[in-house]
Amino acid sequence: MSTHLHSDLQRLQRQLLYLAGEVEQNFRKAMVSLAERKQDLALSVIEADRAIDQREVELEEDCLKVLALHHPVANDLRFVTSCLKINNDLERIGDLAVNISKRAAVLTTSPPLPIPPALARMADEASRMLRESLDAFVRNDADLARRVCKDDDVIDGLHAEINRMVIKQMEAHPAEVEPYVLLLGISKSIERMADHATNIAEDVVYIVEGAIIRHGRGIRPLPPKTPIR
């Protein structure tokens, strides 16, 4: 690897981690705005997303420049292409934080609604998955990345639990349907955040091992292809 390529790859990693830090911070603020009914905090998350969008575009442009200038191969090529994908996943998590904040801002205008404990746990688990997927990225740790992928089942279970609870509450309190619909939307946004953290973890496995494990590949054997007649 040339010195210039090595330097550019390190710069891409720094940019990606900086973007990840901003995204994580926005997600935390979004959940605090929900729990503490802080509309101004929710609105600040929405405003801060502009900077995240800008950084996402700049990082994508820098990845493309590296591809054009250095023509990386093997591990280096996997790293750059994965940076492009992780960059997109982080931007989408930023959008999900905005979605949560918009719903939290609306909820501050209605009577206080108890936040299901499962929702707070779900947010904590999704945040942990994101942190660990990024730790795996920095450390080239495919084992940790695979554990993150498995943890997505926990999020799915909590999301299903919240759905059942909210539906029961809406049936018992028809006048409060709208706030509960907002809670359902927040739960779905957190579930999608965990999906993006899983995507990042899958990309880490690809960087380290060259294995594509999306859709269960690398976890269970694929059925044999039917020959074309």
- What are the residue ranges spanned by the domains of the chain? 3-216
Q: Would you say residue 229 has pLDDT above 60? A: no
φ, ψ (nearest 5 deg) of residue 223: -65, 150
- Specify the pLDDT at position 115: 86
- Other Cβ atoms less than 10 A from the Cβ of 10: the count is 10
CA 123 remoteness from chain centre: 11
Q: Would you say residue 104 has pLDDT above 50? A: yes
Q: Per the structure block, which two tokens stand in for 217?
A: 């590949």
Express as a percent the part of the chain with pLDDT over 70. Answer: 93
- Specify the pLDDT at position 173: 85
- Specify the pLDDT at position 56: 97
Contacts of 155 (CB under 8 A, 6+ apart): 122, 125, 126, 129, 190, 191, 194
- Specify the pLDDT at position 101: 98
3-class secondary structure, 228: coil
Q: Would you say residue 220 has pLDDT above 50? A: no
Q: pLDDT digit string (tens) for 78-100?
A: 999 999 999 999 999 999 999 99
- Specify the pLDDT at position 67: 96
- Specify the pLDDT at position 217: 55
Q: What is the mean pLDDT of residues 129-138?
A: 97
Higher pLDDT, 29 or 226: 29
Contact 158, 126 (CB under 8 A): no
Q: pLDDT digit string (tens) for 40-73?
A: 999 999 999 999 999 999 999 999 999 999 999 9
- Specify the pLDDT at position 222: 40
Q: Would you say residue 228 has pLDDT above 70? A: no
Q: Per the structure block, which two tokens stand in for 109?
A: 């205008």
- Specify the pLDDT at position 41: 97
Q: pLDDT digit string (tens) for 111-132?
A: 888 888 999 999 999 999 999 9
Q: Across the chain, what does the average pLDDT equal?
A: 92
- Looking at domain 3-216, its CATH architecture is Up-down Bundle (1.20)
Q: Would you say residue 164 has pLDDT above 50? A: yes
